[in-house]
Structure 1
Amino acid sequence: MNFGNPRSPRGRALRHVATLSSGPAVDPALRVTLNFHPDRLVRGLPILEALAEDGTYHSQFVTGTSNGGLTAHPGGDRWRWESRIFAGAYDAADAHERPVYGALNFRHQVVGAAPRFGSAHFRLTGEALRRATFCYPDSSVDPTAFGVADGMSLIRLAEEDDRDALDDYIEAQVHGLVVLDRDAEALVLDPCYCGTPVEAAAKLLPCPVEWHPGYRLSVEELRRHPDFRGPEYVELGARISEDGRLDPRVIGDAARTGRHDPQDLKKVWHCLARFGAPAV
């Protein structure tokens, strides 16, 4: 484990979770991935341009944005979850010191370990495993099972569980700054962004750009699943579709118009991620 300064918030958080963890060491060939939407805005700037300028992948506490719930503030749900999991290590810490969230790609998914949170992902280096903590299930549901690189029983739990495909991930919290030129092996994008400003911005980053096979969902197939997130999100997906289909770019374009509730578009993305994932 890479605890860093044992008296720092990072060191105290890692040591606390290590005391709660057991099991075999993580296969060092596994990777943590950080899923996100590559065409969204961060404080008015396209996210990949912001990452190219800053060079660091920040937590919701810094960016004020999220592909999940927006609760990263003192007293908010995310603050309380971190306080519980890390025994208060970050309660008084600066926002930049807090961990970033990803997932352990133990299933070797080409779209990243937690596509629920976006079509793109950064694949981190093996070193990131040494300063990550893990929980199963997601930290939002008060998990009681934890892991670190030296003690990981969570893979067995996840493999024996029967959660929906979008919830079937081992959450990772990477402690310490995630600096892209040091910590990112690659940025992996959906091919719908090929030849777009997203690709152009991605090429400004200090890591290789790779492509996965891509998400695609026809409106016809979307209409077969009204009970997944609700019929209203099926209808929204049908309205924003192009030529009778959805892909991540289509949803991103709709998000930037400002005409749709981001939480509603998140549900449309869930439908695409669940039923339009590449068959590999």
Structure 2
Amino acid sequence: MSTDTPPSPRERALRHVAARSSGGPLDPRWRLTVNFHPDRAAGGRPILRAMAEDGVYLPQFATGTSNGGLTAHPGGDRWNWESRIFGGAYDRAVPRERPVYGALNFRDRAVGAAPRFGSSHFRLAAATLARATFCYPDSAAEPTAFGTADRCPLVEMAEADTSDALDDYVEAQVHGPVRFDRDVEALVLDPSYRGTDVEAAARELPCPVEWHGGFRLTVEELRRHPGYRGPEYVELGAEIAVDGLLDPRVVGDAVRTGRHDPQALKRVWHCLARFGPPAPYRAGRVAVAVPAHDAV
């Protein structure tokens, strides 16, 4: 009778993706980043305080929150995407076992690799590359190109693409727990949160806190881009702006009032992230308006 321990969901997922990958290894100097909005709530708790109490970055299946689509449940889109990408490895896994989503910061952006999903980010330690899988484009687009740290053709694909700047990332899925005391090099915050409860909560985490240059967008500049997400989101951005200016803290304050559709405010954030970053993105097309039901 065999006493071999069956492979874990994490091991099965990594093997499944490795078998579908090709190309050369990733540059070990590149880092994974996990973008998020640090002033939101999870399970009724401020998200950073929840993280400090939990000690780990929990996947969407465990938190029920997301800065993309909320489909992490059996039969939902996220469940189906993971089942396809990982060969069913997580189909019977408990929510906490599922992977954490981030992106590969091969462009070394100070705001993280995928600011579409938030103004701030965790920069993960180099060792997490070895237990990450990758896809391009985003998993919501049903990709057919995959990679691991040892075999990954995706950076070249992303560099050759003409996608909009907010879609210019190689998605990463980190398998196994992401602990703040071991797996995070730094939490990098937008400076609009200096001196706020967000900074105080960030200092409770067992990882360094850093700051990037800051997202800022004037209403005047916002009005120059009505076709990006739609004119209705330009008007909403103008409505919530403070002294003619949008930054992440202003958008977060609007979310907490409960007076606006969170999906609409997400599109205001897209406009701020696209046209108000602290450093320019690479040249890329400007996307047309995205329907209100977009998944990410």
**Coarse TM-score class (shorter-chain normalised):** over 0.9
One-letter code aligned to 2:36: F
Deviations 1:203-251 (A, max 9, x none): 0000000000000000000000000000000000000000000000000
Deviations 1:175-203 (A, max 9, x none): 00111101000000000000010000000
Deviations 1:141-194 (A, max 9, x none): 110000000001101000000000000000000000111101000000000000
- SS of equivalent residue, structure 2 residue 23: coil
- Uncovered stretches (5+) of structure 1, i.e. residues with no partner: none
Please give the TM-score of this superposition, normalised by the length of structure 2: 0.92
One-letter code aligned to 1:40: R
**1:158 aligns to what?**
158
**1:210 aligns to what?**
210
**2:91 aligns to what?**
91
Q: Give matches, 1:27-176, under 5 Å.
A: 27-176=27-176
Deviation at 1:279, TM superposition (A): 2.1
- SS of equivalent residue, structure 1 residue 179: coil
Deviations 1:30-89 (A, max 9, x none): 100000000001111110011111111011100000000000000000000000000000
CA RMSD of aligned residues (A): 0.8
**Alpha-carbon separation, structure 2, partners of 1:130 and 1:81:** 22
**2:201 aligns to what?**
201
Deviation at 1:17, TM superposition (A): 0.1
- SS of equivalent residue, structure 2 residue 162: coil
User: Are 1:239 and 2:239 matched, yes or no?
Assistant: yes
**1:21 aligns to what?**
21
Once superposed, which parts of structure 1, at least 4 consecutive aligned residues long, lie more than 3 Å away? none
- SS of equivalent residue, structure 1 residue 178: coil
Deviation at 1:6, TM superposition (A): 6.5
- SS of equivalent residue, structure 1 residue 228: helix
Please give the TM-score of this superposition, normalised by the length of structure 1: 0.97
Identity, % of aligned positions: 73
1:35 and 1:115 in contact (8 A); partners too: yes
The number of aligned residues is 276
**Alpha-carbon separation, structure 2, partners of 1:73 and 1:261:** 22
- Uncovered stretches (5+) of structure 2, i.e. residues with no partner: 281-296
- SS of equivalent residue, structure 2 residue 182: helix
1:6 and 1:12 in contact (8 A); partners too: no
**1:184 aligns to what?**
184
